């Protein structure tokens, strides 16, 4: 068997003299490096490094004796670079770390009871390729009654279906199909990405820990993605090597994120929280987490629509369901997740309130129900007759957040409103208009469900009537 070669190369990084160990992937070499903490993977240099000293060079030679040739020929070599190819401290290309897999379409899994048998229907728009795959499967059956393919409602069968088809179709679950198995949850969370030879799946213990702490589904989804991107950034490292990363290596990663200018401070903080959680609570690794970079948040004022703009947006929405959703969201200053979780019984028309259940932080609250919103809701209810949820999708279950965002975006464009704004801007608009009307900020805080008044106080910077009375000195000039 051919012996590997490790090339040593001296370099300087952030005023540190280092030696890089450059070699082709080799399990024996990696195993030895894992047992020696003085050799660490350096994210900025994309290689294993140690402090530069004659003693360390001699130790490296002894360490790999009989396993790899340690070559010092290029110890003082400088990288050969053409003038048009110079890249200084090449940054991580974050959009290439987890490339999305191309899918043939999407399916919705719906649980049903058919003459005592528990089945899961596979609903999808007709696609010849998908139809053939399902038809040729040994465990997928055609049901004449429901005119749809189905599988038996067994954990093993569901797991097999998701394993077999998640790389071909996007798999969505009906809200009544509750899957608590962590292996199935992980398959669903990771179904969107290409699984090449370098792909590393999220450690099971990470999901188990979050599940045991009863973290919300949205937190699990965000933390899972943040850690998945982190571990897949380092293609040449296995998970055992990544588990030994230090604070400086984690900082290096977040510095690269920050310098890419592609991530908001909020996203950076989510990544810090997820990775910190992994090393602290899952690996139980002692780190001085005060040293971990936590970027400052941009102090941006909230964007909001004027009375004329919000009127135009509502009037431009023709579909009765879509209009009811936009009006209700604005009526109570709801988050998009709160709107989509509403059930008919949460509309308390006798006291003109909306009962928001288990919102952010798992808190219940009551907010305002507008008379105009109630009128449009009654009209919508008579026409659509929704089931469990107030606003439901094509096959029942909760209306999707992406569909609502598309609806709102089209209404904004149709209304001719130039100001850009996502669904959350309706919530900002609600709070801003209440402040303009003179409502006490403490009541607005309660209606929005903010823990701290400081979160709500940002709107006072938008609506400051005293500032609005001040004239610019330019207006006092006789010009």
Tens-digit pLDDT profile for residues 124-172: 988 899 999 999 999 999 998 889 999 999 999 999 999 999 989 999 9
CATH 1.10.760 matches 101-185? no
The token pair that represents 44 in the structure block: 């900025």
Between 6 and 76, the higher pLDDT residue: 6
pLDDT band at 85 (very low <50, low <70, confident <90, very high): very low
Contact (Cβ atoms closer than 8 angstroms) between residue 61 and residue 70 = yes
Rounded CA-CA distance 133/131 in Å is 6
pLDDT of residue 109: 93
pLDDT band at 371 (very low <50, low <70, confident <90, very high): very high
Contact (Cβ atoms closer than 8 angstroms) between residue 376 and residue 320 = yes
The token pair that represents 308 in the structure block: 């004329």
Rounded CA-CA distance 324/27 in Å is 60
pLDDT of residue 132: 93
Q: Judging by beta carbons within 10 Å of its beta carbon (0-12, 13-18, 19+), is residue 159 exposed, middle or buried? A: middle
Domain boundaries, the chain: 4-84, 101-185, 193-298, 307-461
3-class SS of residue 441: helix
3-class SS of residue 34: helix
pLDDT at 88 > cutoff 80: no
pLDDT digits (tens, 9 = 90+) for 409-441: 999 999 998 866 677 888 888 888 888 888 877
The DSSP symbol for 470 reads: P
Contact (Cβ atoms closer than 8 angstroms) between residue 364 and residue 150 = no
For 434, other C-beta atoms within 10 Å of its C-beta total: 20
Contact (Cβ atoms closer than 8 angstroms) between residue 222 and residue 253 = no
Rounded CA-CA distance 170/100 in Å is 11
Mean pLDDT of the chain: 84
pLDDT at 42 > cutoff 70: yes
Q: What sign for the dihedral angle of Cα 178, 205, 236, 31?
A: negative
The token pair that represents 192 in the structure block: 């969107």
pLDDT at 310 > cutoff 60: yes
pLDDT digits (tens, 9 = 90+) for 27-39: 888 888 888 888 9
pLDDT of residue 479: 63
CATH topology of domain 307-461: hpI Integrase; Chain A (1.10.443)
pLDDT digits (tens, 9 = 90+) for 226-270: 999 999 998 878 898 899 888 888 888 888 888 877 888 888 889
pLDDT of residue 295: 60
Between 311 and 74, the higher pLDDT residue: 311
pTM: 0.66
pLDDT of residue 444: 79
Between 151 and 362, the higher pLDDT residue: 151
CATH 3.90.950.20 matches 193-298? no
pLDDT at 84 > cutoff 50: no
Contact (Cβ atoms closer than 8 angstroms) between residue 120 and residue 109 = yes
pLDDT at 43 > cutoff 90: no
Q: Which whole number is the average pLDDT over 178-195?
A: 91
Instruction: Report which secondary-structure segment, H or E, holds 170.
Output: strand 169-173
Instruction: Report which secondary-structure segment, H or E, holds 414.
Output: helix 401-415
If you search the block for the tokens 């604070």, which residue do you land on?
247
pLDDT digits (tens, 9 = 90+) for 448-473: 877 766 666 666 655 555 445 545 55
Between 54 and 83, the higher pLDDT residue: 54
Q: Which whole number is the average pLDDT over 268-297?
A: 79
Instruction: Report which secondary-structure segment, H or E, holds 121.
Output: strand 117-124
Please count the helices (runs of H) and the strands (runs of E) in the chain: 19, 13
């Amino acid at each position: 068997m051919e012996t590997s070669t490790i090339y040593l190369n001296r370099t300087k990084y952030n005023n540190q003299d280092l030696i890089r160990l450059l070699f082709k992937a080799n399990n024996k070499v990696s195993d030895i490096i894992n047992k020696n903490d003085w050799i660490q993977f350096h994210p900025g240099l994309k290689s294993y490094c140690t402090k530069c000293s004659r003693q360390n060079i001699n130790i490296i030679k002894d360490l790999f004796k009989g396993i790899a040739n340690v070559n010092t020929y290029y110890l003082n070599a400088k990288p050969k670079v053409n003038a048009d190819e110079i890249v200084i401290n090449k940054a991580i290309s974050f959009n290439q770390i987890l490339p999305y897999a191309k899918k043939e379409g999407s399916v919705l899994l719906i649980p049903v009871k058919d003459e005592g048998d528990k089945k899961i229907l596979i609903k999808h728009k007709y696609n010849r390729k998908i139809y053939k795959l399902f038809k040729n499967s040994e465990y997928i059956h055609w049901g004449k009654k429901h005119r749809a393919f189905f599988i038996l409602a067994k954990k093993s069968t569901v797991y097999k279906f998701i394993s077999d088809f998640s790389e071909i179709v996007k798999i969505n679950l009906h809200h009544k199909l509750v899957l608590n198995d962590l292996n199935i949850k992980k398959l669903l969370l990771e179904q969107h990405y290409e699984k090449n030879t370098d792909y590393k799946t999220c450690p099971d213990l990470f999901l188990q820990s979050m599940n045991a702490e009863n973290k919300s589904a949205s937190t699990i989804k965000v933390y899972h993605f943040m850690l998945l991107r982190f571990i897949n950034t380092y293609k040449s490292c296995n998970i055992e090597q990544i588990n030994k990363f230090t604070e400086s290596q984690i900082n290096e990663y977040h510095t690269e994120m920050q310098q890419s200018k592609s991530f908001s401070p909020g996203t950076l903080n989510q990544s810090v929280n997820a990775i910190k959680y992994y090393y602290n609570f899952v690996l139980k690794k002692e780190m001085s987490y005060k040293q971990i970079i936590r970027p400052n948040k941009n102090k941006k004022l909230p964007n909001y629509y004027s009375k004329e703009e919000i009127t135009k947006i509502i009037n431009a929405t023709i579909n009765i369901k879509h209009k009811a959703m936009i009006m209700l969201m604005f009526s109570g200053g709801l988050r998009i997740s709160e709107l989509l979780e509403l059930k008919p019984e949460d509309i308390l028309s006798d006291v003109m309130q909306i009962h928001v259940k288990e919102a952010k932080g798992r808190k219940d609250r009551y907010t305002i129900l507008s008379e105009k919103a109630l009128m449009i809701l009654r009209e919508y209810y008579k026409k659509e007759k929704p089931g469990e949820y107030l606003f439901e999708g094509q096959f029942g279950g909760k209306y999707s957040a992406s569909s609502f965002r598309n609806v709102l975006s089209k209404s904004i464009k149709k209304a001719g409103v130039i100001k850009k704004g996502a669904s959350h801007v309706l919530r900002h608009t609600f709070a801003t208009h209440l402040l303009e009307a003179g409502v006490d900020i403490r009541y607005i805080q309660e209606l929005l469900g903010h823990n701290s008044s400081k979160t709500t106080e940002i709107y006072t910077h938008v609506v400051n009537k005293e500032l609005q009375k001040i004239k610019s000195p330019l207006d006092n000039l006789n010009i």
